[in-house]
Amino acid sequence: MTLHPLVLLSPHDSQSIDSAFGEDGHVRAVEGAGWAVARAIRARYAPCKTVVVCGPGFNGADGYVAARWLEVWGWSVVVLAVAAPKKDSLVEVIARSWRGRTFSEDGGRIANADLVVDAVFGAGLSRPLSDGLSHILRQANRLVAIDVPSGVCGETGRLLGSVKKAELTISFIRPRPAHFLEPAKALCGEIVCADIGLPADAVNEVKPRVFLNEPGLWLLPVADRGDHKYSRGVVSICGADKMTGAVRIAAQAARSSGAGLVRILGGDVALYRHSEPGLIVDDVPIGEAVKDSRRQVWLCGPGLSNAEVEAYLPQLISAGKTILADAGALGTGAEAVEALRGVSVITPHMGEFRRLFGALAESPRIEAARQAAQCVGAVVVLKGSDTIIAAPDGRVAINQHASPALATAGSGDTLAGIVSALLAGGMPAWEASCAAVWLHGDAGIAAASEYGGWPVVEALEKGLGRARQRAEKHQNAKNYKNLPFARL
């Protein structure tokens, strides 16, 4: 058994791995980690005046090993030991293998160095970084971080103090959630992940719950000779009377991402009938429509008023439909949360999330999304530049594959349409949501390159067929070449 390539390691997972290493194994792991750090640096920088700032734990230990290798390769290296390792600890033994110049006071060395290596604290930091330490690191001109820039909480991406931005961050085995979560993400620079070996026992110890959202985490259904429109899936969308554009955008996105049939029910029926000819428009009561067992998947929310949501949502829930609730269906406070019980997926942006869940919005986004998913019993897609997809069972995916070009009105409706199409295609809710976020991001990246960075929302749907094709290609690849970090 191996660890899935898309797993992101929490500090807790790392501790489980470290205990599986045993003492000898741990020394080998630190040797491997320090060597990887030195190699990653050597591959990117010419030999220069370097200060390695070492803390008291294993992050510091990696720093001592990296210093040793850089010096072997002829670099001018000094260590600034900002805290001594614990007496008689393994870190102390490893630190002694560094025989070069060591200082305990900065004395202006950091400001004068060409390169500073931050080996002070790793991802498991539990207390805020002291002002003294952050002052020292902030003087660096160019910084390379081991594991995470010191002061970053590896699990949540929160900053525990004032953190200096790194140009390069080198992590081990698998990246950390923080490497892809704001605000930490913006401070990590290029991410390199080094393979330092993993004891077989460790794989069983790690219970991965956080993943990078890339093809291979999920599998899209592929086109088959025997397909017919019902096998590809039917999406039904609750029609709005006034904000009809949102409904049409969602409908087009659902069709462009593979739904066999998309129907709009109610709202401004005349307008919908005169819009895209591929749409089917119904003017029957919702109570009638839910009796059709082929119409299992419903999108409720884009463009809808409160009154419209009240007319649709309870009937859909009591009919046991698979529901995606977005926009207008995401109301205010505990009563609105209660009204959502029974839906499969909700897709709030941060404003909608705050309105629904109040104080929970103040928690780190990954924790907030996970708790909200447990609270509603639905998949929560917390949108943003680092969209988080949380399942009620605790699984979380973090999406990187996106573009700021998506920050345009109606882009959320596009996403809702894609999720609906994948649900209708038979994917489970979390997988459908993850895949949809990736396809949406891919369409955004493609539209940005085609329209000079500033596409209108209607351009997104045009990229969805190709996005799906790219996802199918990558999801079948064994080598995971297209990840947003380099591998060593």
Ligand X SMILES: NC(=O)C1=CN([C@@H]2O[C@H](COP(=O)(O)OP(=O)(O)OC[C@H]3O[C@@H](n4cnc5c(N)ncnc54)[C@H](O)[C@@H]3O)[C@@H](O)[C@H]2O)[C@@H](O)CC1
Ligand Y SMILES: Nc1ncnc2c1ncn2[C@@H]1O[C@H](COP(=O)(O)OP(=O)(O)O)[C@@H](O)[C@H]1O
Spatial neighbors of 142 by CB under 8 A, at least 6 apart, are 114, 115, 116, 167
Residue 369: C-alpha distances to residues 13, 177, 392 (Å)? 20, 14, 10
Stretch that binds K ion, among 142-150, 256-264, 311-319, 326-334 (CB under 5 A): 142-150
Position among 62, 71, 118, 386 found at the interface with K ion (CB under 5 A):
118
| Cβ closest to ligand Y, residue 182 vs residue 241 | 182
- CA dihedral 298→348→379→365, nearest 10 degrees, is 170
Residue 62 contacts K ion per CB under 5 A? no
CA distance 109 to 481: 39
Question: How many chain residues are in contact with ligand Y, going by CB under 6 A?
Answer: 17
Side chain identity at 84, as an amino acid letter? A
186 touches ligand Y by CB under 6 A: no
Task: Assess 35 for contact with ligand X (CB under 6 A).
Answer: no
User: Contact between 197 and ligand Y (CB under 6 A)?
Assistant: no
Q: 167 to 226, contacts with ligand X by CB under 6 A?
A: 172-173
CB of 388 to ligand X, least distance (A): 22
267 binds ligand X, rule: CB under 6 A: no
Which backbone phi and psi does 451 adopt, to 5 degrees? Answer: -115, 30
Among the listed ranges 32-40, 82-90, 112-120, 412-420, the one in contact with K ion (CB under 5 A) is 112-120
Footprint of ligand Y on residues 355-414 (CB under 6 A)? 383-385, 387, 402-404, 406-407, 409-413
55 interacts with ligand X by CB under 6 A: yes
Q: Are 247 and 219 in contact (CB under 8 A)?
A: no
150 scored as a contact of K ion (CB under 5 A): yes
How far apart CA 164 and CA 134 sit, in angstroms, is 7
Neighbours of 40 (CB within 10 A): 22
Q: Is residue 411 close enough to count as binding K ion by CB under 5 A? A: no
Question: Out of 67, 81, 118, 147, which residue is the one contacting ligand X (CB under 6 A)?
Answer: 147
Residues 418 and 84: their CA atoms lie apart, in Å, by: 54
In angstroms, rounded to a whole number, what is the distance separating the alpha carbons of residues 435 and 427?
9
Contact 434, 389 (CB under 8 A): yes
**Of these partners, ligand Y, ligand X, K ion, none, which one is at the site of residue 384 (CB under 5 to 8 Å by kind)?**
ligand Y
Contact between 92 and ligand X (CB under 6 A)?
no
| Binding residue numbers for (6S)-NADPHX | 58-62, 122-128, 147, 246, 303, 349, 413
Q: Is 415 in the site for ligand Y (CB under 6 A)?
A: yes
CB of 412 to ligand Y, least distance (A): 2
Q: Which is nearer to ligand X, 82 or 366 (CB)?
A: 82
Residue 10 or 50: the one with the smaller Cβ distance to ligand X is: 10
Q: Which residues pair with 343 in a beta bridge?
A: 341
User: What, of K ion, ligand X, ligand Y, none, does residue 118 touch, CB below 5 to 8 Å by kind?
Assistant: K ion
Q: 31 or 352: whose CB is closer to ligand Y?
A: 352
Per partner kind, with CB cut-offs from 5 to 8 A, the member of ligand Y, ligand X, K ion, none near residue 387 is ligand Y
The owner of tokens 């390691």 is 9
Question: Residue written as tokens 């947003």?
Answer: 484
User: Half-sphere exposure (CA, 13 Å, Cβ side) for 191?
Assistant: 24
Which 93-122 positions form the footprint of ligand X (CB under 6 A)? 121-122
SS (H, E, C) 317-379: HHCCCEEEECHHHCCCHHHHHHHCECECEECCCHHHHHHHHHHHHHCCHHHHHHHHHHHHCCE
Tell me which residues touch ligand Y (CB under 6 A).
349, 383-385, 387, 402-404, 406-407, 409-413, 415, 440
